[in-house]
Amino acid sequence: MVVERQDHVMYKDSHDELAFVVEDVPSLIGARMSWKLAEKLTLEVVLTKSSLNPGEISYEGNSFTVHITPSDLADVEPGYYLQEARVTDPEGLTRPVSKGKVYLRQPITTGSI
């Protein structure tokens, strides 16, 4: 599996979908996917998503999408974070497929426009 660097900008009040492609496999059937967001300096994990939890990660073919809601980020302070997406194949081997930075921004306005 190839490790791809992906950086993202997210807003605390937005729904985000982070897409990842696993280049060297034809399908993710039988695999487990996970995604973590961690403090940049302490590496303390502030958010975890898993394909084992319904609605958190979806997949099709060799790509998967992490679904993030405003409630996921309610207690996370704006700033820079590190992210990592991992895949565990059906044989139980776990590998990172993406690493990068996330800049979590505070929205200028809150609520509906």
Q: What is the pLDDT of residues 36-72, one digit of tens each?
A: 999 999 999 999 999 999 999 999 999 999 999 999 9
pTM value?
A: 0.90
Strand-pairing partners, residue 58, are 65
Q: How far apart are CA 13 and CA 23, in angstroms?
A: 31
Which domains are present in the chain?
4-105 (2.60.40.10)
DSSP H or E run through 16: strand 16-21
The residues, any chain, with a CB within 8 Å of residue 86's CB and separated by 6 or more, are: 33, 34, 35, 36, 94, 95, 96, 97
101 or 3, which is more confident?
A: 101
